[in-house]
Structure 1
Amino acid sequence: MSKIIYTHTDEAPLLATYSFLPIVASFAAKAGIELETRDISLAGRILAQFPERLTEEQRIGDALSELGELAHDPAANIIKLPNVSASVPQLEAAIAELQALGFDVPDYPGNPETDEERDFAARYDKVKGSAVNPVLRQGNSDRRAPASVKAYAKAHPHSMGAWSADSKTNVATMGHDDFFSNEKSVVIPADDTLRIEHVGQDGSVTVLKSDLKVLAGEVVDSTFMSAKALDAFLAEQVERAKAEGVLFSVHLKATMMKVSDPILFGHVVKTFFKPVFEKYGADLAAAELSPNDGLGAIYAGLDALPNGAEIKAAFDAALNEGPALAMVNSDKGITNLHVPSDVIVDASMPAMIRIGGHMWGPDGKEADTLAVIPDSSYAGIYQAVIDDCKANGALDPATMGTVPNVGLMAQAAEEYGSHNKTFEISAPGTVRIVNSAGESLTEHEVEAGDVWRACQTKDAAIRDWVKLAVTRARLSSTPAVFWLDAGRAHDANLIAKIEKHLGEHDTEGLELHVMAPAEATLFSLARIRQGLDTISVTGNVLRDYNTDLFPILEVGTSAKMLSIVPLMAGGGLFETGAGGSAPKHVQQLVQENYLRWDSLGEFFALAASFEHLAQTTDNAKAQVLADTLDRATGTFLDEDRSPGRKLGTIDNRGSHFYLALYWAQELAKQTEDAELAAAFAPLAEKLTADEKTIVEELIAVQGSPADIGGYYRPDAEKTTAVMRPSATFNQAIDTL
C-alpha cells in the first residue's frame, strides 16, 4: 500500500486537521493509499525530550527525528502543516500547560546554573524556535501561487489600502555595524572540522563550539552586530518616530532567529523604556523578568514584586512620553513590544504595505509607521516596495503578475542554520573560526553584549538550488532573478558558485539575472504592474520573506500557496503554504466555536502529494485523486467556499464539507477509473442530497464557547467532537 505521512502540528492547522484528515483518509483508502500521522507539535516535541520523566502511557516517540531520517528516503511523502516557531514565552506557556495536564516536564531554565539545568536547557533548545523546518527541509523550495488561486484573486480582488505620495511610512535600518556590514565568508577547500573560539583581551581562549563538521565547497560565514551601535540606532529611531508623529514599530524574526532576535528585541524594549530600566533594571533582573521576553512577560511578573505597582506606573509613564507604539491588539492594549513572536517581519511588513503603509495605533486607528528593522541585509526590499507604492499607488490584484520563489534551504542552508552558532558575547576580545590545522578562517573584534553568529551553506544544496531555478524558469518560460548582492561577502561567494553550476545546465533561451535584493524588488514590481511574472531565486531568509510579501499583495494571504520541496534524496515534502499557525483563530474557536482558518493550502499540497505518489509508485488511482482534487479545488474557489468572516457563515469545517462534496462529484463523473467512479457515486449523491442538512448542523454549533481541553495539547476526543459536529456528514464519510 502507498503511504503518506500527515503531520500533526499546532494551533489552527492542528484543529483543522481533526476535521479534514478523516475526509482525506477515507478518500485515499479507496486508492490503496494509507495515511499515517506524526506529532511534531510544540507540545509533542517537548514530551519527546523527556521520556524518563513520563509514565509509560504518557510517552511518545520522537516523531521529528523519525521524519528527519525519512526525508533521506526516496520513498518519503510528507505533508507538513505550519508549526509554532516557539519563542521563550510560547515555550514556557506550553510547558505550564503540560505540567497542568499531569506531564512531569521540567521548567525551562532561562539561566541554567547546575548540570541538570544545563541538560534541560540543551533539550529545550532543540524544541524552541523553528526546530522543525531545518530537520525536514532536506531539499530546496518551490513555492508559487497555483493558477486557480491567481485566477480567483484577479476575478475577486481583495481590498488594498490606498497609498499617498506624502506618506510618512518608512523603514529604518542600521546600515553599519550590523550583520550585513560585518559579514565575512569563506569557501572550505576540503572536508574539515572547525571550531569557534573567543580569545579574551588577556589571551585566554574559550571554545564556543567545537566539532563543527564541514564539507569541501561549503560556504561558511560569520558576522556580528554591535550592541553599542544597535542601542544608539534604536535611540535615534525612538526620537525620530516621536518627531515625525508616526507609530514606532520593530520587525524581527524572534521565532526562526531564535537566539539572535530575542536579544535584539530586548534591546528595543530597554531602549524604548530606558528611564524605567535605568531605575528598576536591577529589580527586574533579580525577578528574572527579561526584556527579551517582551513587555507582556514583564507586566505578568510585576505583581510578585513589592514595588511592582510603582514599576508598572513607570512603564505607563514612558508609554505616554514616547512615540505612539504600533499595536498588535489596540482593544486589549497589546503593543508591538509585548511579545517577541507577535510581530514577525515576513508577515507584519507585507500586511502593513497592503493596508497603505499603516499599522494600528493605541487609539485603534490606522497611522503611518516607522518600521524598525535593525539589520540591513534585507530591510531594503521593504523600503523599495514602500517607495514604489508612494510613487505609483497601491498594486492591483486584478491585474498584477506573480512572483513565485525558488528558495535555497536544503541541509539547513544559510541563516536558519545559525542557531547553534549564535552567541551573545560576554567579554571583549576576538571571535574566530579555526580549522583543524589551527588556521584562523575569519576573525571579528567584539565587545561585551555584541551578537555574533555563523552559518553554513553546503555546495550540494547550492547546486540543487541552481538546478531547480533553471528547471522552473524553463517549465514556466519565466525570467528568473537570483537576489544576491555582490557587495555582501556571503552573496559574492554564492554568485561565483552560481556561475559555475549554471554551466552544468542548458540555459539556452532562458532569461536569468543576478541582482541585489532592493534592485530585484524594483525589477519584479515593475513587471508585476505590467501583469508579468518573475521568479525570485533567493536564499533561505529571503525565501521566507518573499513567500509572504508577494502572495499577501497578490492573493491576500500566503496560506494559499503551493509549496513543494523536492527532497534531494528523491522523496517529496509538501508544505501547506505559509501564513503561520493563526493563534487568533484558536481564540475565536474557543470563544465562539468558529474557526476561520483557511485550509486551501492543504488542498494544493495534498494534490501534489498524490501526484508525486502516482509518479513514484505507479499508482494510477493516486493520479486520479490528484486530478479530481485539483478540479474540485477550482470549483471550491469559483463557488467561494472558503471560511467566511462572521458567525452564521461556513467556517473551516464547512469549507471541508464543500471540498469533499466537489471532490466526490468529480470522482464520480471521471472516466479514467471506473472502480473509483463507482465507489464515489453514492457518496456524491448523498452529500448533494444532504447539503442543506449538513450546513445547518455545522452552523448550529456556532456562537457558544468550545472546549478543546488545551491550547498546545488539545484533548483528542474533545477536539474531534468540536471539529466534526455534523452527524450526517460524519456518517457519510466514515462509512465510505
Structure 2
Amino acid sequence: MPESTIIYTHTDEAPALATYSFLPVIEAYAAQAGVAVETRDISLSGRIVSQFADRLPADQQIPDALAELGELAQQPEANIIKLPNISASVPQLKAAIAELQQQGFDLPAYPEDPQTDDERDVRARYDKVKGSAVNPVLREGNSDRRAPASVKKYVQSNPHSMGVWSSDSRTQVATMGADDFRANEKSVVIEADTTLRVELVGDDGATTVLREEIPVLAGEVVDATAMNVAALREFLTAQIARAKADDVLFSVHLKATMMKVSDPIIFGHVVRAFFPKTFAAFGDVLAGAGLSPNDGLGGILAGLDGLDQAAEIKASFDAELAEGPKLAHVDSDHGITNLHVPSDVIVDASMPAMIRTSGHMWGPDGEEADTLAVIPDSSYAGVYQAVIDDCRENGAFDPSTMGTVPNVGLMAQKAEEYGSHDKTFEIPTTGTVRVVDASGEVLLEQAVEQGDVWRACQTKDIPIRDWVKLAVSRARATGDPTIFWLDEGRAHDANLIAKVNAYLPEHTASIEGGDDLDIRIMSPIEATKLSIERIRRGENTISVTGNVLRDYNTDLFPILELGTSAKMLSIVPLINGGGLFETGAGGSAPKHVQQLVKENYLRWDSLGEFLALAVSFEHMATTTDNARAQVLADTLDRATGTFLDENRSPGRKLGTTDNRGSHFYLALYWAQELAQQSDDAELATSFGELAEKLAGEEDTIVAELLAVQGKPADIGGYFRPDVDKATAVMRPSQTLMDALAILP
C-alpha cells in the first residue's frame, strides 16, 4: 500500500449508500495532494461471504478485509476512516444470510443447535461476524471523542428541540444491584506472562473445560463475573408488576449487538418473564420449532406459520400483552414492541433519546408516556438515573448554553467487556467456574447455577498506560477538569484505580504545569452528577472511562448537546502511530434505507464523514510531511463550517436537500475554500476552475438531484446492494460527475 493512502471503509445501510455519493468527491480532491483513497468491504454481508471463500466459486469470493485492516491498524502508516457498521444480532445475521442466498451465494443456514462437526464449523464462522466483530479488531488505540468547535457553535445558534420535563415524571431506571455482573465481579492483575484456562467443576465432580487457552501478559487485568439467572428472573417479574402498578411503559435496554453472547440471553429471559403463561404452555413447542425468545418476540411470531397450534400460541401472546403493563414500542404504527428484536433497542442510544424526549418512550397507542427503563446489570445504570433525577428537578438541558462532556475511552486491544464474547458462557450445570493459570493456580473462582451467564474480561496494561497518557494530553490541551469514571467498590475499577494512580505522575511530571491539571477519580454516578452540574453552567468536563462507558457517554452527552452522536469528532490515535477516524453512530441508518427505497430520498447526515476526513488529512500531513494534505484538511474544516452556517444538512422531507445534495454543497464550499487559500497557488488555480463551474451549474445540479425524489429506488438489496444499481441511485447528477472530472 502506498505511503499516502487513506482507507475508506465500505460498511452497511445508509452510511454505505452515502459512500457511493461522497466517494467521487473524496477521490477527486485527495488526488490533488497525491493521496490515494482505497476502499475495504467490512460490511456484514462482506464479512459473511469472506468466511466462506472455500465454499464459493472464485467470482463470488471476497477477501477478509477486516483481518487485513486489523493488521494494518498495528502499522504506523495506517490511516483508516471507519463508518458505522451493523453489529449484527442473530435475527439480523439470519436476514443477511437469506438475502445473500437469494442473490446466488451458496451459503449454509445458520445452525441454531449445531450437532455435527460441519455444523459446528459453520456456526464458528458465523460467530466471527455477528455482534461487535469489527470494532475490537480495528481499535488498536484508545478513543478521543469530542464535539468540534464548529459543530458546537452551530448547535448553540440553532438549538435542537428538547422535550419538557415535569417534576412529577414517573420515569425511572430499574436495575438489579445484587447477583448481577457488577456485584459478582472479581478481578486480578496478572504477575507474569502465562496462559489461562477456564473450567467448570460441576457439583458432581465432573470438570468441563470452557476455554482451553487464553494468553495473558504481565500487568494485564483479568476479571470474572456471573449473572445469577434465578435472581434475574425474580427481578424481571417484579419490574413487570411494578410497571403495571405504576401505569408506566415497560422497556428493557440492553446491547445485544456488542454484547453478542450475554445480552441476547438476558433479552430472552425478559421475553419469557413478560409472557410466562405462554412459555409455560407452549415453550417446548416453540423450542422444538427452533423459535427462541433470545431472538425476540418478532422472530417467534414470524415463525409460527406451519405450527399446528399457531393460532392458539398467537392468541396467548396477545392475551398476555393485554394483561401486562403497556410495552414501549419501537414502531407503534406497525405494532413493533420493545421486545420484538433484541437489536432494536440499544441502551446507549435508546436511553439518551428517552431522556431528551421528556423521559418518554412511545406506547402502543402511538403516544409518549413515562417509562420504567429496565437495565438489569447495575454496572452503569446509575449514570442514567442520575441524569433523569437531575432533569426531573431542573428541567431539560438547554443546547444553546450547555457545556460539553468529551470522552477519552479505554478501548484499545479489545479492552474490557467488549472483548469478552469468546469468554462468555451460559452455564450448563451447577458448580464452580475457575480461572486457572499455566501452573495450575486458581486465580479466580465463582459458584454458579445452571443457566447463569458467566464471563471473563481482559484489559492489557499497554492500553491502560496509553489511556492515561491520552487523558493527560487532553487535560493539558483544554485545561478542563478531567475525571476518571472509576468506582473503587467495583473489583475491576479498583485495579484500574491503582494503575491510574501509578501512571499519572509519569505523564504529569513530564509537562510544564502538570501538577496544576485538574485530574480526579470519581465513581460514575458522582462523576455524572458533577458533569451535568457543570454543563448546565456552560462548563466543560472531560470524562475518562472504560470501554462500555465510552460507548454510553459518547451517545448520552452528544444526543443532549448536539441532537445526535453522529456529529462528534472521533479520533483513535493508534498505539503504533497510525490513525483510525470514526464517523459517528449509525443507529438511525435502517430507517434511512427504508425511506430511500420507498421515495428515493436519503436523509443520512454525512457530517461525521466530513469531520473524520479532515482529521485524516491532517494526520496524513503530519506523518508523511504532505503539505497539500494539510491544505485539504484546513480548507475542509472551513468548508464544513460554511456547510453548517448555510444549513445544508439533509432536510426532513421530500423536495429539500438530501444526502446527495449535501455532498454537492460540501464539494462546492470546499472548492471555494481551496481556490481562496494562499498556501498553494497551483491548487488554488485548479480548484478555482472547479469552484466556478460548480457555482455556475448549481441550479442544474440541484434540479437533477431533486428530480429523482418521490419515486421508489431499486438498490438491489438491503444488506448487499447491487453496485451498479446503488451507484446509479446515489449519483443522479451527471453534471456534478462531469464537473469533478475537470480536476487534473
TM-score by structure 2 length? 0.98
1:734 aligns with 2:736: no
Question: Does the 8 Å CA contact 1:548/1:579 hold for their aligned counterparts?
Answer: no
Query: 1:722 aligns to what SS in structure 2?
Result: helix
- 1:144-543 equivalences under 5 Å are 144-506=146-508, 507-543=514-550
1:660 aligns with 2:667: yes
Question: Does the 8 Å CA contact 2:618/2:629 hold for their aligned counterparts?
Answer: yes
Letter aligned with residue 121 of structure 2? D
Question: Does the 8 Å CA contact 1:84/1:581 hold for their aligned counterparts?
Answer: no
Query: 1:38 aligns to what SS in structure 2?
Result: strand
1:604 aligns with 2:611: yes
Deviations 1:392-446 (A, max 9, x none): 0000000000000000000100000100000000100000100111111111100
Deviation at 1:505, TM superposition (A): 1.2
1:631 aligns with 2:638: yes
Aligned partner (choices 556, 569, 588) of residue 562 of structure 1: 569
1:50 aligns with 2:56: no
Letter aligned with residue 579 of structure 2? G
Aligned partner (choices 122, 125, 137) of residue 124 of structure 2: 122
Task: Name the CA distance, whole Å, in 1 between partners of 2:79 and 2:19.
Answer: 17
Aligned partner (choices 721, 740, 744) of residue 714 of structure 1: 721
**Match in the other structure for 1:576:** 583
Task: Name the CA distance, whole Å, in 1 between partners of 2:477 and 2:609.
Answer: 24
Task: Name the CA distance, whole Å, in 1 between partners of 2:284 and 2:416.
Answer: 37
Deviation at 1:656, TM superposition (A): 0.4
**Match in the other structure for 2:143:** 141
**Match in the other structure for 1:690:** 697
Task: Name the CA distance, whole Å, in 2 between partners of 1:734 and 1:458.
Answer: 48
Task: Name the CA distance, whole Å, in 1 between partners of 2:306 and 2:685.
Answer: 67
Task: Name the CA distance, whole Å, in 2 between partners of 1:486 and 1:328.
Answer: 37
Deviation at 1:581, TM superposition (A): 5.9
The answer for unaligned runs of 5 or more in structure 2 is 509-513
Identity value in percent: 74
Deviation at 1:477, TM superposition (A): 1.0
Task: Name the CA distance, whole Å, in 2 between partners of 1:138 and 1:510.
Answer: 27
Letter aligned with residue 574 of structure 1? F
Question: Does the 8 Å CA contact 2:243/2:250 hold for their aligned counterparts?
Answer: yes
Task: Name the CA distance, whole Å, in 2 between partners of 1:688 and 1:141.
Answer: 38
Residue-pair matches, total: 736
Deviation at 1:580, TM superposition (A): 3.1
Letter aligned with residue 560 of structure 2? L
Task: Name the CA distance, whole Å, in 2 between partners of 1:266 and 1:582.
Answer: 25
**Match in the other structure for 1:27:** 29
Letter aligned with residue 37 of structure 1? T
Question: Does the 8 Å CA contact 1:83/1:581 hold for their aligned counterparts?
Answer: no
Task: Name the CA distance, whole Å, in 1 between partners of 2:236 and 2:742.
Answer: 61
Task: Name the CA distance, whole Å, in 2 between partners of 1:731 and 1:718.
Answer: 19
Aligned partner (choices 592, 601, 624) of residue 599 of structure 2: 592
Question: Does the 8 Å CA contact 2:602/2:658 hold for their aligned counterparts?
Answer: yes
1:645 aligns with 2:647: no
Letter aligned with residue 401 of structure 1? G
Query: CA RMSD of the aligned region, Å?
Result: 0.6
1:71 aligns with 2:73: yes
Question: Does the 8 Å CA contact 1:108/1:124 hold for their aligned counterparts?
Answer: yes
Letter aligned with residue 344 of structure 1? I
Question: Does the 8 Å CA contact 1:82/1:581 hold for their aligned counterparts?
Answer: no
Task: Name the CA distance, whole Å, in 2 between partners of 1:611 and 1:360.
Answer: 43
Distance 1:581 1:460, change over 3 A: farther
Query: 1:698 aligns to what SS in structure 2?
Result: helix
Question: Does the 8 Å CA contact 1:473/1:480 hold for their aligned counterparts?
Answer: yes
Structure 1 residue ranges, 4+ long, deviating more than 2 angstroms after superposition:
578-581
Question: Does the 8 Å CA contact 2:690/2:742 hold for their aligned counterparts?
Answer: no
Question: Does the 8 Å CA contact 1:4/1:36 hold for their aligned counterparts?
Answer: yes
Task: Name the CA distance, whole Å, in 2 between partners of 1:93 and 1:708.
Answer: 17
Task: Name the CA distance, whole Å, in 1 between partners of 2:502 and 2:723.
Answer: 52
Task: Name the CA distance, whole Å, in 2 between partners of 1:689 and 1:512.
Answer: 53
Task: Name the CA distance, whole Å, in 2 between partners of 1:105 and 1:541.
Answer: 33
Deviation at 1:18, TM superposition (A): 0.2
Question: Does the 8 Å CA contact 2:15/2:586 hold for their aligned counterparts?
Answer: no
Deviation at 1:218, TM superposition (A): 0.2
Query: 1:168 aligns to what SS in structure 2?
Result: coil
Query: 2:318 aligns to what SS in structure 1?
Result: helix
Task: Name the CA distance, whole Å, in 2 between partners of 1:592 and 1:168.
Answer: 39
**Match in the other structure for 2:92:** 90
Task: Name the CA distance, whole Å, in 1 between partners of 2:22 and 2:108.
Answer: 34
Task: Name the CA distance, whole Å, in 2 between partners of 1:337 and 1:223.
Answer: 26
Letter aligned with residue 690 of structure 2? L
TM-score by structure 1 length? 1.00
**Match in the other structure for 1:676:** 683
Letter aligned with residue 413 of structure 1? A
Query: 1:6 aligns to what SS in structure 2?
Result: strand
Deviation at 1:730, TM superposition (A): 1.4
Deviation at 1:735, TM superposition (A): 3.5
**Match in the other structure for 2:41:** 39
Question: Does the 8 Å CA contact 2:85/2:586 hold for their aligned counterparts?
Answer: no
Query: 1:323 aligns to what SS in structure 2?
Result: coil
Deviation at 1:731, TM superposition (A): 1.1
Question: Does the 8 Å CA contact 1:697/1:726 hold for their aligned counterparts?
Answer: yes
Deviation at 1:734, TM superposition (A): 3.1
Deviations 1:510-545 (A, max 9, x none): 001111111100000000000000000000000000
Deviations 1:135-165 (A, max 9, x none): 0000000000000010011000000000001
Question: Does the 8 Å CA contact 1:13/1:581 hold for their aligned counterparts?
Answer: no
Task: Name the CA distance, whole Å, in 2 between partners of 1:734 and 1:584.
Answer: 33
280-289 or 507-516, which moves further after superposition?
Answer: 507-516
Letter aligned with residue 208 of structure 1? L
Deviation at 1:119, TM superposition (A): 0.4
**Match in the other structure for 1:700:** 707
Query: 2:617 aligns to what SS in structure 1?
Result: helix
Task: Name the CA distance, whole Å, in 2 between partners of 1:212 and 1:220.
Answer: 11
Deviation at 1:269, TM superposition (A): 0.2
Task: Name the CA distance, whole Å, in 2 between partners of 1:188 and 1:485.
Answer: 21
Question: Does the 8 Å CA contact 1:547/1:578 hold for their aligned counterparts?
Answer: no
Query: 1:662 aligns to what SS in structure 2?
Result: helix
Deviation at 1:509, TM superposition (A): 1.3
